[in-house]
Structure 1
Amino acid sequence: MPDVPLTDEPLILDRQPLPDGIGERLAAQLRFIAEADKLKTILRASPLAAADRRENDAEHSWHLALMVILLAEYADEPIDVGHAVRLVVIHDLVEIYAGDSPVFVPGAAADQVEREEAAAERLFGLLPADQAAEIRALWDEFEAGRTPEARFGKAMDRLEPMLLNWLDGGGTWQLPGATESTVRAREAGVVAGSTSLGSFTGQLVDEGLRRGWIRPDEA
């Protein structure tokens, strides 16, 4: 599975066109759906809890959707669960072209905003204009964190890899760029959407420090 952006690759339906006679709108929607299959090939830094490998972006997005459904009661603000699920399912699609930007890898996020903006233009532009605008608006909403649903979705996006790191006995907390302060910064992202889940995350970090899974900051 590739770890790099797929910007230069042809569209999946360019390699295997659909049969003739399909309506223009359906063809555009299926082109986008087929292209979204590439999300399954984008590996993240986070480990899986159930197997000795890293998770991919599609698995991550599914896990966030499940977490939103099950943990919505812990949101600090009332949320529309269905809307929050839509946000977390959409939010990482741009990594099909932009690639993942591991938080604990120095320099990995240097041009992340530019890469993801360009990816959003290309990917969402495959859809019919009305749906392209709708999906782009969802992506922008999540990125800006301007609604209760986006804030809670972002909290889940921080909590999920921290839980996986815990289940793996350290996971990406043991990468060179991870120290207590950088891990605490991820914890803060959970607190921003849920103080109670943020408190739980703080317990994970405290115990991770005690067990030597997280390096203290240098004095």
Structure 2
Amino acid sequence: MQTDNLSKQVAFIKEIDKLKYIQRRTKLFNSERHENDAEHSWHLAMMTIVLAEHSDKPIDVLKVIKMVLIHDIVEIDAGDIFLYDTQNNHSNTEQELIAAKRIFGLLPKEQADEFIAIWLEFEEGLTNEAKFAKSMDRFEPLLQNTSNNGGTWKEYNVPFQKVYDKKKAIKEGSTAIWNYAENLINESVDKGILKK
């Protein structure tokens, strides 16, 4: 049983290496290089550790770290949908659930069930942990775009209101981080890197 579990876990570890090849639209801070999903997930995990004190509600930090590390693994199968995509809806949860069941299903059943439950909790966004995890997920690309003179906002001609509407989800997890983010958005308008 122990050997069987180990074989399944190693198969999963090999499979998720593919996350390093999923390119995101956002670019690294002050860079022209696109970020990959693995880098994004790592950054969110670090942000969670560093910024957890700013959560409006008590959170289980380890659970949030698990959420942000696994939330995009489904993109190995389902692909990354750009937050501001005008053709595809960003909530492709049905395809992603199929991907979650396949990829997490490589693990021993107990772990697979736990990972799927954590992934679903993140997607539903109702718990304190999910709200904070989603705050991190929306905050990181905002920091990237402001460091890159508008980044994907400029590249894809994303207007202020669309950015504002997508980013205000940050407030659900942290009022303090939202206030900081809102100031960055308004400063981006003042600097001319985000069109109102």
Q: TM-score over 0.5 for the alignment?
A: yes
The equivalent of 1:145 in structure 2 is 125
Letter in 1 for 2:20: K
Distance 1:110 1:153, change over 3 A: closer
Contact in 1 for aligned 2:30/2:147 (Cα 8 Å): no
Letter in 2 for 1:122: R
Distance 1:57 1:27, change over 3 A: same
The equivalent of 1:3 in structure 2 is none
Please show how residues 184-203 of structure 1 align to structure 2 within 5 Å: 184-203=164-183
Instruction: Write the distance in 2 (CA, Å) between the matches of 1:166 and 1:23.
Output: 48
Instruction: Write the distance in 1 (CA, Å) between the matches of 2:45 and 2:34.
Output: 19
Query: Which runs of at least 4 in structure 1 moved beyond 4 Å after TM superposition?
Result: none
The equivalent of 1:39 in structure 2 is 19
Contact in 2 for aligned 1:179/1:214 (Cα 8 Å): yes
Deviation at 1:52, TM superposition (A): 2.1
Question: Normalized per residue, which structure has more helix?
Answer: 2
Distance 1:166 1:72, change over 3 A: same
Please show how residues 199-218 of structure 1 align to structure 2 within 5 Å: 199-216=179-196
Instruction: Write the distance in 2 (CA, Å) between the matches of 1:110 and 1:136.
Output: 19
Contact in 2 for aligned 1:98/1:116 (Cα 8 Å): yes
Distance 1:183 1:146, change over 3 A: same
The equivalent of 1:105 in structure 2 is 85
The equivalent of 1:76 in structure 2 is 56
Q: TM-score, normalised by structure 1?
A: 0.85
Identity of paired residues, percent?
44
Q: 2:134 aligns with which of 142, 145, 154?
A: 154
Please show how residues 115-134 of structure 1 align to structure 2 within 5 Å: 115-134=95-114
Instruction: Write the distance in 1 (CA, Å) between the matches of 2:26 and 2:90.
Output: 19
Q: Provide the alpha-carbon RMSD of the alignment.
A: 1.5
* Equivalent position SS for 1:23: helix
Contact in 1 for aligned 2:82/2:90 (Cα 8 Å): no
Deviation at 1:110, TM superposition (A): 6.1
Contact in 2 for aligned 1:173/1:214 (Cα 8 Å): yes
Structure 1, residues 138-180: CA drift from partner, whole Å, max 9, x if none?
Answer: 1011111121111101000000000000111101111435111
Structure 2: segments with no counterpart, 5+ residues: none
* Equivalent position SS for 2:97: helix
Is the deviation greater in 54-63 or in 207-216? Answer: 207-216
Contact in 1 for aligned 2:31/2:148 (Cα 8 Å): no
Instruction: Write the distance in 2 (CA, Å) between the matches of 1:200 and 1:43.
Output: 27
Instruction: Write the distance in 2 (CA, Å) between the matches of 1:33 and 1:50.
Output: 31
Contact in 1 for aligned 2:30/2:144 (Cα 8 Å): no
